[in-house]
Structure 1
Amino acid sequence: QIKTAFPDFPDENIIMGFQKSMVKVDITLDDCPHNILKSNARFPVLMRRPWNRELTGLLAVHDYEEFFLLLDQIKSSMIEDRMEPEAPCVVALVGPSGSNKNKIAKKLCQSERFAAPAAYTTKPFSVKIGKESSSIHKTISEEDFLRDSKEFLETTRYAGYAYGTKEQDISKLIDKGKYVVMPMDLSGAIAMKRHYPTVIIFCKCKRERMIENILGKDMDNHEKMLRLVAMENELKNADLCDFVVRTDSGDAVERIMQICK
């Protein structure tokens, strides 16, 4: 099957075996949870499928186009070829749960240069993150989320819930020349690169502070557990981002504003 699908692939590069975790590689792509969780790869990447929707905090893609974009991001991080943001563009704030992404986004949106689009989620809550009426997490049912899937530019699964942003909401802000602030995971940020210039900023925070923030959130213990378990994997993503900003210090917002000259 491999030779049929990839006739030009060298025979010596094909390794037959049962335990993929025994092979040491830079990047691996798989849709089986146990292969990703046990992988020795520097960058294990999960191909999203219905049977792995509960996995949280891992590098994940929905298709091969997103995977190739992720490869580009990995390569650019190795040669320190980071994007210098100019409006209009997307400013993706990534980092583990509890790293103050939403709080930073809310403060940035107090400036006229920044705005946040609506974020849709199957999580039953509604939290304002900006001063525009569209800058809000909007809760919709799982059925509605799947029905409207073609309207979303990016979707992701986190702690069992689906999150997504619609193209029309982002385009309105881009057309106004804004820095479009979006708290999201790295996989969502990579997906955004398919459509808009996107700078990825990692929100770095002390583990103790993030754990305290997670435990203090209004959610059930199962979701808190998933977020805590995901923390270590998400911390590894800092090396793949264009910039790293400490969000447990008082100058985080000023630092991001300096990055977005």
Structure 2
Amino acid sequence: ICKLQRLPISFVGIVSSSRRIAAMSASTGIRPIVFSGPSGSGKSTLIQRLMERHPGCFRFCVSHTTRQPRAGEKHGQHYWYVTEAEMLADIDAGKFIESTHFAGNRYGTSYKAVTDVINSGQIPVLDVDVQGVKSFKAAKLQPPPTYVYIKAPSMTDLEQRLRARCTDDDEKIRLRLAEAEAGNAYADQAGAYDVVIVNDNLDAAFAELDKFLADDVARALAVKASAS
């Protein structure tokens, strides 16, 4: 089983940053939407559809990573690309809600990434693994984020999707499947997520997601209308 190494976060940093997020969320009613689900579940496609359906309502929180940018990726748009030393220092200072170590690189979501989106009047969208979800819950943000899990119909179907992409070797596929099994097991626990959507049919899965987030969209539109 693929075990993700969690990194220590300063309790003082969590409390002060969490209060800042709570204050801004309370004034607008906007709550972050935390997505989780295995690679190959169609999660990214569903999020993209959501953003296209409701332009200006949602915005990705830009995560940090220590890996090198891939072709076409831009600093501050796809990730904040930082050194190992920089990221470890910020984690130790309590600037991250969640962080993880996977395949030799560190990834994480800073409090600032979330507050920047809330300040813009948009709904923060985050895509994290299961351990990231647990870290968000441990941060006790108020009001709490909405947690959404996207699931493939079966592990066999998921493996077929991963192999069809032709982007990962056998070892990476094995790691992704192991991570998916752990993620599905957590998602099956009562109360782990606010909604679990099985993406067997993309149109049906999107309709379910869009309906579930209708109140969040209405709230964001009301905030925009009041600010104009």
- TM-score, length-scaled by structure 1: 0.59
Q: Using the TM superposition, give the Cα deviation of residue 126 of structure 1 relative to its aligned residue in structure 2, in angstroms.
A: 4.6
Q: Which has the higher contact order (CA 8 A, sep 6+)?
A: 2
Q: CA RMSD in A?
A: 3.2
Indicate the residue corresponding to 2:109 in structure 1.
165
CA distance in 2: counterparts of 1:128 and 1:257, whole angstroms: 30
In structure 2, the partner of 1:92 is 34
Cα–Cα, structure 1 residues 64 and 123, in superposed 2: closer, same or farther, change >3 Å? closer
Residue of structure 1 aligned with 2:146, choices 195, 199, 218? 199
Greater mean deviation of Cα atoms: 232-241 or 140-149: 140-149
> Which whole-Å CA distance do the structure 2 matches of 1:245 and 1:208 have between them?
17
- Report if aligned partners of 2:33, 2:145 keep a CA contact under 8 Å in 1: yes
Which residue does 1:258 correspond to in 2? 211
**Matched pairs, number:** 184
CA 1:190 to 1:230, structure 2 compared with 1: closer, same or farther past 3 Å?
A: closer
Change (3 A) 1:135 1:114: farther
Higher helix fraction: Structure 1 or Structure 2?
Answer: 2
Q: CA deviation at 1:107?
A: 2.4
Residue matched to 2:157:
209
Q: How far apart are residue 175 of structure 1 and its match?
A: 2.3
CA contact (8 A) 1:117 1:134 kept: no
Q: Aligned runs of 1:1-261 on 2, under 5 Å?
A: 55-56=3-4, 62=8, 87-110=29-52, 111=54, 112-126=56-70, 134-149=76-91, 150=93, 151-193=95-137, 194=139, 195-196=141-142, 197-206=144-153, 207-215=155-163, 216=165, 218-239=167-188, 240-249=192-201, 250-260=203-213, 261=215
Structure 2 unaligned runs (5+)? 12-27, 216-228
Higher gyration radius (CA): 1
Code of the aligned partner of 1:211 = E
**Aligned mates of 1:117, 1:64 — CA distance in 2:** 21
Extract unaligned runs of 5+ from structure 1: 1-36, 38-53, 66-85
Q: Matched residues, percent identical?
A: 22
SS class of match (1:177): coil
Once residues 148 and 135 of structure 2 are traced to their aligned partners in structure 1, the CA distance between those partners, rounded to angstroms, is: 15
Asked if the contact 1:97–1:214 (Cα under 8 Å) also holds between the matched residues in 2, the reply is yes
Q: CA deviation at 1:135?
A: 4.7
